[in-house]
Amino acid sequence: MAASLNRIILIGNLTADPELRYTSSGTARTKFSIAVNRQYKNASGQLQEETTFVPIVTWGSQAENCSNYLSKGRSVAVEGRLRIDSFENAEGERKKVVEVVASTVQFLGGAPRSGDAPAKTAVPPSSSEPEASTTEEVPF
């Protein structure tokens, strides 16, 4: 059997807020698209820009984190696999779906959405208060 590899790494900006849904078994699934830009010079030497819009799907706790912490315009790095599927729609036409199934999504630069809780910072306890645990679970 021949070796194969299906791995994709993209960095881009969300084109819209993520859409969170749950399967009938309760598994979280979030879909969003990112815009990936490429600059190049055309035959006459002028700088051109090309934008590719790539649909992304995430599953489980990562899907919930993406829904909670990402919003339109936010930069992300996505690593995953390319999935191409085809189906027949109600009119009998054959359609293709191309998407990246993300294994990891790293949130890059940019501020969180205005509705998100502010980031917690560790504050040293005063001498009159007992020392509190500063161990917190990171959501991503």
Q: Domains along the chain? A: 8-108 (2.40.50.140)
77: which 2 tokens?
A: 């790095």
Confidence of residue 91 (pLDDT cuts 50, 70, 90): very high
- Percentage of the chain exceeding pLDDT 70: 78
pTM recorded for the entire structure:
0.73
Instruction: Give me the chain's average pLDDT, please.
Output: 83
pLDDT for the residue 51: 96
The secondary structure of residue 91, as a DSSP letter, is: T
Which tens digit of pLDDT belongs to each residue from 44-81?
Answer: 999 999 999 999 999 999 999 999 999 999 999 999 99
Q: Is the sign of the CA dihedral 61, 62, 63, 67 positive or negative?
A: positive
Contact present, 71 and 17 (Cβ < 8 Å):
yes
Cα 39 from chain centre: 22
